[in-house]
Amino acid sequence: MKLTWLSKKYVSVLLHILFWVVLFSLPSLFRPRQGNNPQAHREAENINFFYQYLVNCCTWIGLFYLNAYVIFPTTVYRKKYFKYVLSLVPVLALLSLIVWASFRLLVPKIHFGFGVFVFFYIFPCVFILACSIAFTMFRDKLRSDRLVAQKETENLKTELAFLRSQVSPHFMFNVLNNMVTLARKKSDQLEPSLFKLSSLLRYMLYETDEEKVLLEREVEYLQSYIDLQLQRFGSKVKVNLVMEDYDKNCFIEPMLLIPFVENAFKHGTGFKQNSEINIELKAKSNLLAFRVSNYYDNSIAQVKDKTSGIGLQNLKRRLDLLYKNEHAFTIENKDNFFTVTLQLNLH
C-alpha cells in the first residue's frame, strides 16, 4: 500500500500537532473532581497543576525529538545498543530533576518522595520513547522507500534513453552515402530526400524525449524511413505497406515500432531476387496490431555483424519496461518468411 501522502511535510506537522494536543488533553479528561474545596482555592490549585503538567509535556516533547533525531539514529542504527541505553540515563535524570523542581515549586502542598516521583514519571517517559522509536523507524522507512522509488525511476529513464539511442547507426551512414550519390548525379530526388532525413532527425532528437507521442507522428517517422530505404534499394526490394487503418489520436512510446522495420530491411534485403517486406499497422479503440514480415533464403549464408539481433532484444526489453502486461509479442519463421507481430494495449 502506498503511503506517499504521509511524507508530505504539512501532513507530518499536522499529525505531530494532533498527537501532542491529545496528550495535553488527557489530564482534563481524567482529572478527579474536588467538590469540597473553596472555589478560589480550587481554581488556583488547578492552574498550578496545569502549569506543572505543561512542564511535564515540554520534557516529554524534548525527549521525543531528542531521541528521534539524535540519540536513536546515532546509536541504534550503528548497532551501539549499550551506548543508546547509557545516553538515555543522563537525559532521563536531567528531565526528572526539572520536573521534580517544577512540582515542588508549583504544587508544594502535595508531598511525594523523590524516588516515588521518579518511578511514576518514568512510565510516561517509556511510552514517549516507544512512540519516538516507532516514529523514527516509520519515518526512515518512508524515506528509504521514497529514495528507492526515485532511484528506480531514474534507472528506468536512463535505461529507456539508452535503448532508444541504440537504433542502428548504419542506416544513417547508408542514407548519407546515398545523398552523396544523388548530389553527384544532380538528381531531383536529392531535395525531398533531405527533407525526409531532416524530419527523421527532428523526430529522433526532439520528440523522443517525451514519454508518449501521437501514433500519427510515429507512423510519419516510419513512412519517411521506408521512403529513404526504397530510394536506396530501388526495385531490388518490394515493400507492401498498409498503415491507413489506425486512430491518429492514439499515443505510443516513441521509437517503439522502428526496430521491426529496421530489422526487416537489415535482414530481408540481401538477396538478388524475391526481396520482399510486408508491413501492416492497425489501431482501433486503443488496441494496436503491428505486423512486419520479410523474405529470407535459408540457402544463402548471411554474415552477421556485431549488432545483429540487438534491435529485437531492445524491443523486448522496452516492452517489458513500458507495457509489461499490456502486450503480446511473437516471432515466427515459416515458408521463408520471418514474421514479427506486436499486439499492444495503448492505455
In this predicted structure, the answer to whether residue 341 has a pLDDT above a threshold of 90 is yes
What was the pLDDT predicted at 64? 92
Strand partners for 283 = 246, 288
Q: What whole-number distance in Å separates Cα of residue 112 and Cα of residue 319?
A: 73
Which ranges constitute the DSSP H helices of the chain? Answer: 9-30, 39-66, 72-75, 81-106, 114-165, 170-185, 190-202, 215-233, 258-267, 310-322
Q: At what angle do helices 114-165 and 310-322 cross, to 10 degrees?
A: 140
> For 119-153, how does the pLDDT look when each residue is reduced to its tens digit (9 = 90+)?
777 888 888 899 899 989 988 888 888 877 766 76
Residue 304 scores a pLDDT above 70: no
Mean pLDDT across the stretch 282-310? 71
| pTM for the full predicted model | 0.55
Residues of the chain within CATH 3.30.565.10 domain(s) are: 166-345
For residues 141 and 148, give the distance between their C-alpha atoms in angstroms, rounded to a whole number: 10
Answer whether residue 301 shows pLDDT above 60. no
Superfamily of domain 166-345: Histidine kinase-like ATPase, C-terminal domain (3.30.565.10)
Q: For 161-179, what is each residue's pLDDT tens digit?
A: 655 655 556 677 777 888 8
Mean pLDDT of the chain: 78
The per-residue pLDDT for range 220-256, each reduced to its tens digit, is 889 988 888 888 887 788 889 998 778 878 888 888 8
Percent of the chain residues past pLDDT 90, beyond the cut: 14
Amino acid letter at 218? E
Contact in structure between 260 and 288 (CB atoms under 8 Å): no
CA distances from 234 to 227, 230, 239 (A): 10, 5, 10
List own/partner pairs for 58-64 with CB under 8 A and 24 or more apart: 59/95, 59/98, 59/99, 60/23, 60/124, 60/125, 60/128, 61/20, 62/95, 63/91, 63/92, 63/95, 63/125, 63/128, 63/129, 63/132, 64/128, 64/129, 64/131, 64/132, 64/135
Q: Which residues pair with 333 in a beta bridge?
A: 338
